Chain A
């Protein structure tokens, strides 16, 4: 009986996983619909103000396709993605570590709150100027700026997650002999992860935005550098094409990496919802 039960459970797990993947892809229709709506508004803007102010979406997309055929485009996009990605990972590492500490230590939390307000209050542009003075116009400037902008977001998300953990579950873990570290790894960390995703997505988006901005201002290559060139040449279509590409890159990473991971971890939240219903 047990053998067949286990194989049944495994089959169901596989079917579940397939269904989740389909559900995820099915959710793409909603994205496609809002994209179409966005393009319609864009087209209306083009028809009202003319191609010099706002080129037609079709023209911009054909520029994007034209650029995609040039190998150099890929190199530029890769540079930006690498900078944004590296600094995002660094921000996650630093933010999660500090967040876990401050979530457990109220004194640390109280000490760092004003600091966080200051860090979040200083506009990224100010950091870019400082970083340019400190590091010159290279990877360092971009990475430091993104790090400063994204770390506090991750930190606050982690600390909130740790603080909102279920103390009842903690007591349960303690009863069954879990020490503080095992309670953290099996209970609070798992709870915090679910809380962390919105701030991870926000931090990633901030990372890309700030990276492109830093590249543009420091003229340090990447998509930002290309954008700056397009501006100098008054090539509006190309400028918009670069914007479209950087957004595309962000969407690719967010929906290709973060969302599937999150869907896998947050299965329990959607378990009681019927198929195809999105909240």
Chain B
């Protein structure tokens, strides 16, 4: 018996002001699997994540969500500037009408997962560094124990060392809790590091170009095997040929 996929997008399409940005998108995410969606910038990856998470309405095709609760880690942290880190982390709980007293324990637990200190929790986002802000945003995503996480190019703006730390953070959490996810990125190194499987979107957003399984599982691959796999994929696999080959003004 096989489990049904937790997320299934069938023939999804989307248009902005009459311009078709996505068409014929068929993607499935299996239970416990992190799927990376790669493609050149401007090809509609973020739009796809926003449609499948329900922020944007479905115009074409169908979405089947078999998870209970989702969360998203955005590229810009999207923290409320007027609220402290703790209040920001507690926001999903507040929306779920969980009493204030119970929220506190959940917030401390989530903060511990991302290595935020209690002293940081009473600070406002302006008082936190970029990395700390992103940690806060990750804690907010994890606080309500989601069983599906959307990662919308979450670490693009961070420097290399910080990026690795954040990737390790989300990988270890996803493994520990068997959380499925859809990881949007244009960085193949990142995709190979965090995901079980990589899906490549067409440069114009019209369809999926193909799928590749990354050997091993996230968190257990060594840096050498990853680097080798990525180098090999970029050199020999036609699927990844167009990822770095973009002129975003020329998109039709």
Contact = CB atoms under 8 A, between A and B. Distances in A.
**A and B are interacting partners:** yes
Nearest to B50: A171
Contacts of A174: 54-55
A175 B121 contact: no
10 contacts: A2-B104, A9-B121, A168-B74, A175-B54, A178-B95, A182-B95, A186-B94, A266-B82, A268-B125, A272-B127
B72 A175 contact: yes
Contacts of A175: 53-55, 70-72
Nearest to B83: A268
Given A9-B121, A186-B95, 4 more contacts: A5-B118, A6-B104, A9-B122, A177-B96
Given A173-B95, A268-B124, A9 B118 contact: yes
A268 B126 contact: yes
A187 B54 contact: no
B162 interface: no
Contacts of A25: none
A12 B94 CA distance: 23
A265 interface: yes
Interface of A: 2, 5-6, 8-9, 12-13, 166, 168-169, 171-178, 182, 186-187, 190-191, 194, 265-269, 271-272
Contacts of A5: 108, 118
Interface in B40-99: 50, 53-55, 70-72, 74, 76, 78, 80-83, 91-92, 94-96
Contact of B95 (A2, A177, A269): A177
Interface string B141-182: 000100000000000000000000000000000000000000
Contacts, number: 69
A176 B91 contact: yes
A191 B127 CA distance: 19
Contacts of B81: 268
Contacts of A12: 122
Contacts of B82: 190-191, 194, 265-266, 268
A2 B108 contact: yes
A248 B10 CA distance: 69
Contacts of A13: 122
A97 to B, nearest CB: 22
B123 interface: yes
Interface string B183-207: 0000000000000000000000000
B105 interface: yes
B118 A8 contact: yes
A13 B122 CA distance: 8
Interface in B214-247: none
A173 B55 CA distance: 9
A192 to B, nearest CB: 11
Contacts of A9: 118, 121-122
- 4 A-B pairs closest in CB distance: A268-B124, A176-B92, A5-B118, A172-B78
A182 B167 CA distance: 32
Given A190-B80, A265-B82, A272 B95 contact: no
B191 to A, nearest CB: 22
Best-buried of B53, B83, B118 by chain A (most CB within 10 Å): B118
B250 to A, nearest CB: 27
A68 B92 CA distance: 55
B111 to A, nearest CB: 10
Interface in B108-123: 108, 118, 121-123
B128 to A, nearest CB: 10
A166 B83 CA distance: 14
Contacts of B72: 172, 175
A5 B104 CA distance: 11
Nearest to B56: A171
Nearest to B86: A9
A278 to B, nearest CB: 17
A272 B129 CA distance: 11
Nearest to B81: A268
Contacts of B80: 169, 187, 190
Best-buried of A12, A182, A268, A269 by chain B (most CB within 10 Å): A268
Nearest to B93: A176
A191 to B, nearest CB: 8
Contacts of B70: 175
Nearest to A183: B95
A13 B92 CA distance: 23
Nearest to A10: B122
Nearest to B137: A172
Nearest to B80: A169
Contact of A172 (B74, B104, B108, B121): B74
Contacts of A187: 80
